[in-house]
Structure formats: C-alpha cells, structure tokens
Structure 1
Amino acid sequence: MRTLGAMHLFIAGAIAFWPDFYLPGTSAAQPKPLVKIVAGYGSTDGAIAPLWFAKETRLFEKRGLDVRLVGMGTGAVSLRALIARDLEIASLSGSGLVQAALQGADTVILSAAINGFVFKVFGAPDMTGPAQLKGKKLGVSRYGATSDFAVRLALKKWGLNPERDVSILQIGTTQDTFRAMQTRMLDAGVLSGTASLMARKAGFRELADLGDLGLHYPMAPIGTTKSYIQRNEGVVKEFMLAYIEAIHDFKRNKEAALKVLKKYTRNDDLEVLQDSYSNYASKYLAMPMPTPDAIRTILAELSVLVPAAKNAEPEQFVAYKIAREIEASGFIKRLYESEGRARK
C-alpha cells in the first residue's frame, strides 16, 4: 500500500509541475480552432489561381483559417450567394460587385489580383478582324460578367453597337464558350486562359486581345460584405495575408502551381497549363488591390444603367483600409526581400 500511495504522489506531482502534461479537456493541450470560412468561386479560369493555391498549399491554415472552397459555376451565382450570406467571401465579377453595391447591397471588393482585362476574342478561321463581328453571334460567360463587360467596351471602341450590331449570347464558362464555337453555335467567343490556347490549337483566329484596350479593371476580384468585415476584420486581414503570400509563392513555385491549375481547371494538357501559368503569373500584383481608375472604368459603363454611378467614388466599393494596413506593416516588402536573400 505504501508503494501505491507513493505512486499516487508521484503522478500528482508530475501533473502539478509538468506544464505540458496532457489532460483531456484542458485548454493548455487544445490547439486554437481554425476559423471557418465558406468561399465561392464562379470561374475555373487561371486568373483566380492564387485562391486555389492558398487552399492547396495550406496557407489559409497557416493563418488560422479553415477555408472551404465551393465552385459556384458562375460569378452571378456567387454574387447572389454572397448577398444571401451563404458565402462569406467570393471570387466574382468586379462590375457585379460594384453594381450590387450601387443598388443597395453591402458588397465590397477585398482584392483584385490583376489590373486589366485578360480576355481575347477568337473567331472562325475565315474572320480577319473585329469589324467582321458585325451581324455575328458572340459568346460570353454571363450577361454582366467580366467577359460581357469587357467585350461591350471593346465593341464600342471598334465602332460597333453591342445592342444592335452583334448578337451577344451567354453560354457559361470560357470552356463552354469554346465548345459552342466548335459546334458552330457561335461565330466568335470571348475566351481566356486555357480556353484561349485550346481555341488557337483548334484553328480559330485571334481577332483581338482585350488587354490592348489599355483600361484599368479589377480582374479576378475577391469580394465580401462590409458587415462581414465589421464583425470579422481580423479574420479578413488574415485571409488577405494568405492570399498575398499565395500570389508570391505561385509565381516562384511553378511545379506546385501547375499541379493546382491541373486540378481546378481539370485540364491535363501540359502545354495549355504552362501557357496559362506564364500568362497569369506575369500579371499578378504583389499588392492585389484595384486602382481607383479600375473602379472608375466600371462606374463609367454602369452610369448608363444605374444613375447613382455618376456621382459615386471608388472608395465606396473597395476595402482599402485593410490593404493599407497590410502595406504599412511591411509584410509584402519582407516577403519579397526574403526571396532576394534566399537567392544570394
């Protein structure tokens, strides 16, 4: 009995003085739970690859977040889900986010990885230029989506009326648009990423690069709501830090980036994947925020449909406060400086 009593004293002493001793239910032994976020994406285009990359390389977890990515099919569906609070964060159309805000929703742009359009217009092999789009059927993903917004701006610059001179049809994803071109349901289509190279390989002719319009535009934006930021500003900031790091790592780890592109675009053509990687990696911004001019591009176009756009200011539609705090913290500078030191 003395031996048993001594053993009890030993165990009690160990528990009292060994801080890492595990007891079920004690806070010292419990890791901090990850904050759950449901984030949607409408496109399977490489422009939003940093979002996928952050998920696959566990950068969100590194920041204390459990992000569940949900493919929504289109940006319009993502927008409705965001407004309905079914999503906390979503990758969708910049013009859609701004228009929703103008019409009373509390949507706001959190980031935009690219400043400018990445779309190209492809047509039948016998077409030689944009002028030949007159009287033709042109495919976009969805009305109001970025592809639709961009090509309507372009048509006006080419002297064509988007309402009268061209039949603009909403098809689905850029892959769906490409397939519709193959079956001759369309004469031309607005494509990007993997779909662009596939169209070129199939013999379609590139009629125009919409990036040549020279317009600022928030491409591949991520949106949320102002109310979500008010309740979870720290969480949103951690999300942004993970996203920014994902852009940095995507550019510098091509092998991992290609694996992510292959998984989410569901394309295993290495030539297509490498083309998509090269195209987007060179365009991603270290600080992925839209310029005021990018928002003005949207407001100018929307002013025809939404009178409130005429007197609106870019600051109303972008969460610049979080971006400025991150920039002021020196996080991005340290991220890219550490890479420079590693190369020496």
Structure 2
Amino acid sequence: MSISRRELLKLAGVAGAVTVAPGIVRAQELEKKEVSIAVGGQALIYYLPLSIANLNGYFKDEGLDAKVVDFAGGSKALQAVVGGSADVVSGAFEHTINLQSKGQMYRAFAQQGRAPMIVLAVSTKTMPDYKSPADLKGKKIGVTAPGSSTNMMASFFLSQHGLKPSDVSFVGVGAGAGAITAMRTGQIDAIANLDPVISTLLKENAIKIIADTRTLKDTHQIFGGNMPSGCLYTSQEFIDANPNTTQALANAIFRADQWIQKVTADEIAKVVPEGYLLGDPELYKLALKGNKEALSPDGTVAEDGPETALKALAAFVPNFPTDKIDISKIWTNDFVAKAKQKYANA
C-alpha cells in the first residue's frame, strides 16, 4: 500500500520537521544496530530516562546495541558527536539551537525532561551573608562544564538581575563527587548543578538555593514558559540516513519516561547503579521525588518550549543571531508520536 507524503504527515500528527517522519510503526530493519550515545554526567537524575532505557533493556528490545559514553558535562558530550566519536547526544535541548547558529543542523527527537532541573545555590561557607544576585559579582560559580546547560541557566539568571557572564568566573566541576568536593572545600562560591549533587549539599547545609528549576511552576517563573531540557538529539544527517534506528532510540526513551512515572522512588533506586546514590540511598530517593515532575512523562516537547529555549540562549550568548534560527528544524515530536502509538497501551 503506497502512502502519500500528506497522509504520512497526518499520521505523525505532531508539529516538527516534515523531513523526518519515518513511516508507520512496524518492525523495520535497523540501518545501524551499534549506536554510541554521549552524555554529560549520566548519574544525574536529569539523565535518568537514558539510564533506565539502558538498564531495563529497552534499547536491546529495539534491536540496538547501545553504548553510553559518559563525559564531565553536556558541552563535552556535544563535542563527541560533532567530532564523530559518538552518534547521538543525551543532553540539553538548547544545544541544538546553538549548533544551528554555527551552521550545523541537529535535531532533538525524544525528550527526557520538561524542566531544566538545574539549581543555582550559593555557598554557606564563602557567602554566608548573601543577600542578592549582585553579591555574585567577582565570585566563582561551579558548573558541570563551561558551555553546558548549567552554565546557561546561571548566565540567564545573572542577566535577569543586571549582571553579565563576565562579571563572574565559571569553573567546570563535573556532575558528581567532584562538584560536591569543590563546594565543600571552598573552591567555588556558588554552584549550578543538579540532583543528587544539590540534595547532598543541601543535606549538610553547605548551600543556600537562590534559583530552582526542578518544578514546572518555578521553571515558568524563571524562563517565562515551558523549557525543554534533557533529550536525545543528533545530526539531521544521521536521522535522514538512519530513520529506523532513530525510531528505535525514541521508542526506548518513551518506554523509560513512562516507566519512571509509574514506579516508586524505591523501585528506581534498586535499578540504578550504587554509584548514582552517592552513598545515601534515602537522599537519592528524596531527590527523585523532588524532580519527578520535571521528568518527561512521554518524551514530547511542549509547543512553546523551543521558543523559550531560544530566548534563554539569546540571553546567554552575546550577539546571538536569533533572527537566523529556524526553530522548526531543531526538534520533532514525530518519532515519539509513533512510539506512543506502539507502546502506550503495552
């Protein structure tokens, strides 16, 4: 049975790119079974759907041999894909916009988070008398890696309060024990990071939170709308050459997103590696509950999300060429719509 392009798009049923709809869901041979996925701080709850897709065997179920390669931050993971040492990134949505501004076409095709989950906090040790964002001038702010979404969120916060990124020093501290140590030892004065790092530092009263995007309400307040966060993205070239493989990846993330919403924090803590817990399982479970709303329930990007991300990036990058960005080319819900069609009632 032949299907016209118009009918195919109707089946997709979701806004996005017209060039990426891979066809009706059915068993199709994968163009590429071995896929490497670059990620910046896999143990973070921000990337939990990726971990669950791997640990629960969802990638395998789709016929994929997925290799997850961990980096210190999202910008490093991005470099791996651009440099050709990885196929796909599990990273921050806004990187697709930044890449397009440099003439590189990348597209997000399965969402893992619908809020950034990033927290900006000051040290109770080096900034005990913090009163306002102006106090951050001249201070060292720890981010997962320079250029990562944590860096962007902190810069966006600064711009909202009359400060420039150059008014502070950004220091890459990673997304795990290294970040905690940097704060404990006074190497940094503030930190933009995620859970379980933030909850660990909060528990020992090492930080005071000044901006929080772990809930939809706070995210809307800070960014002015829905702000997509963790997602799977790759080059348009990869999607065009490997539509069935891309669909298989989206299927796995969709299943992981759904599983996370259905189970308890106890069940999640039993599945993830012990290293994710940072020595405190109860604290990790508490952090899971605090971030659950921010994790995507079905992999779909909200319609206003890409525009919100563009505005945030424009505030972060000096002289960003906003008028040259075609926002429709940096995301699609088509693959997730098909995954939903296949697995929603499974």
Scaled by the length of structure 2, the TM-score of the pair is 0.78
Q: SS of 2:112's equivalent?
A: strand
Q: 1:200: how far off?
A: 1.1
Q: 1:133 to 1:174 in 2, by over 3 A?
A: farther
Output the CA distance in 1 between the equivalents of 2:293 and 2:35.
29
Output the CA distance in 2 between the equivalents of 1:307 and 1:201.
39
Output the CA distance in 1 between the equivalents of 2:193 and 2:207.
12
Could you tell me whether the CA contact under 8 Å between 1:154 and 1:213 is conserved in 2?
no
Q: Is 1:221 equivalent to 2:237 in the alignment?
A: no
Q: 1:230: how far off?
A: 1.0
Q: Is 1:309 equivalent to 2:312 in the alignment?
A: no
1:178 maps to a residue whose letter is I
In our comparison, the structure showing a higher alpha carbon Rg is 1
Q: 1:59: how far off?
A: 1.3
Moved more, 176-185 or 254-263: 254-263
Q: SS of 2:304's equivalent?
A: helix
Identify the structure with the greater helix proportion: 1
Q: CA RMSD in A?
A: 2.5
- Give % identity: 17
Q: 1:262 to 1:158 in 2, by over 3 A?
A: farther
Name which of 131, 137, 147 aligns with 2:140. Answer: 137
2:201 maps to a residue whose letter is A
Aligned length: 301
Alignment of 1:35-50 (within 5 A): 35-43=33-41, 44-50=43-49
Q: SS of 1:278's equivalent?
A: helix
Q: 1:91 to 1:312 in 2, by over 3 A?
A: same
Q: Is 1:275 equivalent to 2:277 in the alignment?
A: no
Q: 1:245: how far off?
A: 0.8
Q: SS of 1:92's equivalent?
A: strand
Q: 1:195: how far off?
A: 0.9
Runs of 5+ consecutive residues of structure 2 not aligned to the other structure: 1-28
- Which residue of the partner structure matches residue 24 of structure 1? none
1:252 maps to a residue whose letter is K
- Which residue of the partner structure matches residue 202 of structure 2? 200
Q: 1:74 to 1:320 in 2, by over 3 A?
A: same
Name which of 333, 337, 341 aligns with 1:320. Answer: 333
1:78 maps to a residue whose letter is A
1:194 maps to a residue whose letter is P
Q: Is 1:238 equivalent to 2:248 in the alignment?
A: yes
Q: SS of 2:171's equivalent?
A: strand
Q: 1:264: how far off?
A: 5.3
Runs of 5+ consecutive residues of structure 1 not aligned to the other structure: 1-31, 336-344
Could you tell me whether the CA contact under 8 Å between 1:177 and 1:190 is conserved in 2?
no
Q: 1:39: how far off?
A: 1.2
Q: 1:301: how far off?
A: 4.1
2:99 maps to a residue whose letter is A
Q: 1:95: how far off?
A: 2.5
Alignment of 1:1-344 (within 5 A): 35-43=33-41, 44-125=43-124, 126-131=128-133, 132-164=135-167, 166-173=168-175, 175-211=177-213, 212-214=218-220, 215=223, 216-254=226-264, 255-263=266-274, 265=276, 267-303=278-314, 305=318, 307-327=320-340, 329=341, 331-332=343-344, 334-335=345-346
Could you tell me whether the CA contact under 8 Å between 1:101 and 1:108 is conserved in 2?
no
Q: 1:135: how far off?
A: 3.2
2:192 maps to a residue whose letter is V
Q: 1:99: how far off?
A: 0.8
Q: 1:306: how far off?
A: 5.6
- Which residue of the partner structure matches residue 25 of structure 2? none
Could you tell me whether the CA contact under 8 Å between 1:150 and 1:210 is conserved in 2?
no
Scaled by the length of structure 1, the TM-score of the pair is 0.79
Q: 1:58: how far off?
A: 0.9
Q: 1:128: how far off?
A: 4.2
1:140 maps to a residue whose letter is V
